[in-house]
Each structure stands twice: as C-alpha cells, then as structure tokens.
Structure 1
C-alpha cells in the first residue's frame, strides 16, 4: 500500500513548491485551512472552505513525476481522495482554477472531467525566434502599435488601474470578479511574485494584465481592455510582457486556458486563436472535480440556490455544453 502524507498549515512551511500558487502565503490568503497531500508521484496543494460544516477543497497547484502513467495517476489519485474524505472530512473537490491543468482524466467514481488546455511560450528561445514564431497578423499589428506610439508600463503602482479595467471588462461580459478586498488580500500575498502591466495611448489605458510568476512560469491570470482598444494594443502588451519575463530568466509564458473545441463562431474560439497565434505550444490536459459525499454535495447546491437563485457553475459544466 502506498503511503499518502498530509501536510497541514504548519508542516507546509517545510515544503518548497515550485509554483507560486503552492506557496504558504498564497494559500493562507485563500482560507484559514490549507495544506498539501503527497503520494509517490503526485504532490497537490490546496485550501479548504466550509459552509455549515460542508467542506469543499480546491487544488491550486500540483507537481507530478514526469514518468507518471495514466494508470498510476488514477491509482494514486484515488488513494488521495480517500484520505481527504476520511482524514479531513472533505465533501467535494471543486473545479480547479484554469491554470491547474492535470495530465490525465480522473477515471474515478464520483469524478467529472473535462478536456482543457493552454498555450505556453518557451522564453528560453531567442527574441528573434520568438518574434518569428508569431503569426504574421500578430507581427503586423505589434509593429503598428509601435508606430502608433503605444506605451508599455509596469509596476505595483498600476495595481488599481489594472483592477478597475479588468473589473469593467468582466462586468461587460457578465463574468463574476472578486471584491476589491478579496483581490487585495490575494495579490498582497503574492508580494514580489506578481507584476502589473498596462499599455497606453495618449495617456489612456488600452490594455491591462496581472501576471503572477515563479522561476518556471509567468501566468496571464487576468487581463482587460476598453470597449475599443487601439489596434494591436493587446498583442503589443503580451509581446512586451514576454520580453519582460524573458529578461528575468522566467522559462515560460502561460496564456492560462483555452477550450479545445469551441464553436468557430464563438468568442471562445477567438480567444483561442488569439493565444495560439503567439506561437507557443498547445498543452492539452484535463480539469476535474469530485463528489466525495453525494448528500452533502446536494445540500450545498440547495443552499447555493437559495442564496443565488441559480446553481453553481464552473468551466467543467460549461465545456460539456460546448
């Protein structure tokens, strides 16, 4: 029998997670209950939230041995879920954030999976190669943005500008965005492992991005633009961000999330095309969630509905409808 090890809030300090989303301070910003769990080939970091005693767990980062097979993955994952249910009384595992893409489908009773992907640009390549790898239309509009005198800026002093533009963008799209208080708590926890970027034309902001990063990856976690951004402003911003992190010796720029087979007439298809045209490698994996205690999960949905007049939604559910 494989040994499964749990790490609580204090013992987590002894671990050195490579991902910025597995660090102690980040997890502590999400909940008072957090930790990690380790099997032979899997190491997962999480936080826990509770409503009337119904505990839900969210994985924020994982590390997997490169030789891990799909069969071993599911064997170890099943043991991990059993331990979380037994030792921590977890009722269900939520859909993870879109930057947490697992290598295999969770073929375990009570789990629901959805194919999902991302685009990652290898920043160890030369600037010349990276620019050559861009789609021709991206190269053209980046050059146009430079001619139009689009200015690129970064720094913590831009945090509020980024928040306001991203919030207005998501409001237009009827997408929930966290409160300012929650936003500040999360990004304060990242300290010097997050950067804020904007592009301006005539002192007006035409694009914004918030990028958490570690030595391995920079993550395009949040972005926004006005209703009518200047042509090429967002393309130019991403190119300059890539060059910024390349200069810092970060290995990869992760565009964080693409749907695999969106309808060609959908906005999701346009987002996928925009990200792919930066020339990075498409990485395909899975998001999954798990119902460990069906009655408690059902009760949580009823409580959620009574408060919000709708049932909880996530990427996994929406992918199934595409």
Structure 2
C-alpha cells in the first residue's frame, strides 16, 4: 500500500521536496526487500522514474512553466534529481543483470543530464549513477561503453574534485564490467587517471578512487597494463587515505599480484612491507581487508625468508608486531 502512495507522489505531488523524499523512501525499500516485493509495482515505478527524468512530473511543471519547452532547461532541483538518480542503482542492486531492459528505457533520458550545456553537478550525478549501475548490473553495461567513455574521460579532467572522483570510480567499474569493449580505451583511461596520482591533485578521495580504478583494470586485464610503468605510480599513493570503500579492490589487486609472484610487483617488496604494515594497524580498514593483506605478507615471507628481517627491523614496533601476527609459525 505504501508503495502505491510513494509512486503516486512521484508524478502527482507538486512539492519537489516531498517528491525527493518519496524517491529516497522507495530506494530504501528496494534496498531492504528483495526484488520479489518490488515486482508488482515495477512497471508503474519505471514509468514514474521516466516521467521525472524527462522533467514532466507535476512538481517539475510548476518550475518550468507550461509554455517553456527548452529541452536544455537547466532549471531543475538538484536534490530532486539526485534522489531520482539514486533509484537506478537501487534497481540494479536488486535485479542484477535483469535490470538491463529497464536500463535501456531510462538511459537516454538520464544522458540528457550529461550534456556539456548542463551544470557540472548534473554531469557528475549521471557519472556516479552509471558507475553504480555498472557495478551491480554487470556485463550488460558493455553495450554502452562507446557512449559513456568519452563523457567519463572528459570528467576525469573536471575542475571539480567530486566530478573527478566519480569519474575515476566510473572508469574502474566500466573497465571491470565492460568486457573486451573497454580494452581499446585502456590507454586513454590510464592517461586520464595519471594526473590524479600526482602532487597537483589536492584531494585524497580522488586519488583513492584513481587507485581503485587502476586496481580494477589490472584485475580484469593484467596483460593490457604496462605494470612496469603503472605499479610505481600506483604503489606510491598507498595506503589509501580517505575513501576506504576502495580498499577491497585495491588490496585485492596488490595481493593477487603478490600471490601470483608477479615479477613486476616483487621488485617493490620494501614498499609493500611498509604499505601492508600501515593497513594492518589502520582502524579504518576491515578485518577482511587486513586478512587479505596479511595473506600477501605471509606469502612474501615464504618466498624471501630471512631476507625480510632487515625490512621488518626498520619498522616502528607497532607495525612490525602487526605483521608478525601473520608470520607462519616457525
């Protein structure tokens, strides 16, 4: 019953704040319940979402004025559109790849907000939405790569830190889920991400998301990444400073390279020991991430044995003790 009221509110209420709250409530319901609970309302819900993306709902008419029909009219409420754009990732999370046919309907109306004539906050709203959809919808995103990649590459160079951060996250998710289609963009993505690793990037969260993107690229197509050039730049920004949602992707990648005894990563053992120690003592990292890093450290010990001793004795005691917990019992 409550879903009926919320969906009706989306298109018929003339107060934008009320509509935004209805969208947020629906997104929460979708996250809390399975797709089965949602299914009876789905076609009605998709139609309401389309109406809002096309800026044709009751609350959007008042603002636009009934006689103004400028498709690029940028006068819309940011809070409202953020709430609407949060519905798409919620659908994707609940439906997985089954979201593909619905996403196909919503794609063009969403992309209208990514036009160059739109304000930067509209474009980054779209990029963030696409990143989360790609993450949960998976492989079907491949058919959109050629449309999306030019937007994402352009956004990597945005003057706004939020835009750069979302673009880096999106580039990684597109690379991870876009299959072979993304390979031709790998060099462009790496070129776009490179400045985000440097001193000129003032924002730690942007840098963390750039690291996450590179990690995802390495995980899906390690042979398409010039590791000898990329790893020194990548390792230099670790451990992550601010966006620990990227930890699993980043340290999973580092651990995979270590456990497969990749010769490129094994030339960085001193840096790895230092990074692993900092991750293990960090209160911001999860036990899962620490176990991953501990396993990689344990592998280094089994490969290098006593040669590791000088590296460990140079560490602060707390760091050395954190690593010692993962040493195989001698």
How does the TM-score come out when normalised to structure 2?
Answer: 0.26
TM-score by length of 1: 0.26
Q: Larger % of helix: which?
A: 2
Which of the pair has more CA radius of gyration?
A: 2
